[in-house]
Amino acid sequence: MRDSTVYDCTLLRLPRVEADGGIITSLNSGSDLAFEIQRVYYLYDVPAGAVRGGHAHKELRQLIVAGSGSFAVVLHDGSKRRAVSLNRPDVGLLIVPGIWRELEEFSSGSVCLVLASEPYRESDYIRDFAAFCAAKHAGGSDKMN
């Protein structure tokens, strides 16, 4: 995890089943996603100007999708920053472990859908950016744990 970079986080085109009545996007663990989905959560009613996230995860993998509307995901790996805009439900951002993220610029009515590889565990969070950067720069593969 110490070696993960913002460029290991990839944008995925998600499958679409199109019909006259609309579109279905279906995500299956193992085939459409490289991890088993253990949890789904979503952010909504985010007030204008709010910033969510502000943490990294030690083990968690996530696919983040703009289910509705748009928002920006700002990634940081302790050295490099990368901003990704999400604005369509058939594109997801895969975030690997050991990446700091902040979510911002939520449009009115937007929904941030998150598919996660682990149940919620506070012990998997790193919520101090200075400690995160220090751990990313430190030697030893277990320094984030």
Window 51-70: contact mask with ligand TYD (x via CB under 6 A)? -xx-x---------------
Question: Is 137 a catalytic site residue?
Answer: no
Q: Which of 120, 128, 131, 143 binds ligand TYD (CB under 6 A)?
A: 120
Smaller CB separation from ligand TYD, 15 or 118? 118
Nearer Cβ to ligand TYD, position 17 or 130? Answer: 130
Binding-residue pattern over the window 15 to 54 for ligand TYD, x denoting contact by CB under 6 A: ------------------------x-x-x--------xx-
Tell me the C-alpha distance between 97 and 124, whole Å: 10
Residues in CB range of 99: below 8 A, 6 or more apart: 4, 6, 8, 9, 56, 57, 75, 76, 77
Residues 78-117 that bind ligand TYD (CB under 6 A): none
Nearest to 2 by CA among 107, 101, 134, 120: 134
Q: Give the tokens for residue 52.
A: 């969510």
Instruction: Compare residues 15 and 124 and give the one whose CB is closer to ligand TYD.
Output: 124
Question: What span, in angstroms and rounded, lies between the C-alpha atoms of 93 and 49?
Answer: 21
Q: How far is the CB of 60 from ligand TYD (least distance, A)?
A: 9
Cα 130 to Cα 68, 95, 101: the distances in Å are 33, 20, 14
Q: Indicate which residues carry an active-site annotation.
A: 55
Query: Which spans of this chain sit near ligand TYD (rule: CB under 6 A)?
Result: 39, 41, 43, 52-53, 55, 120
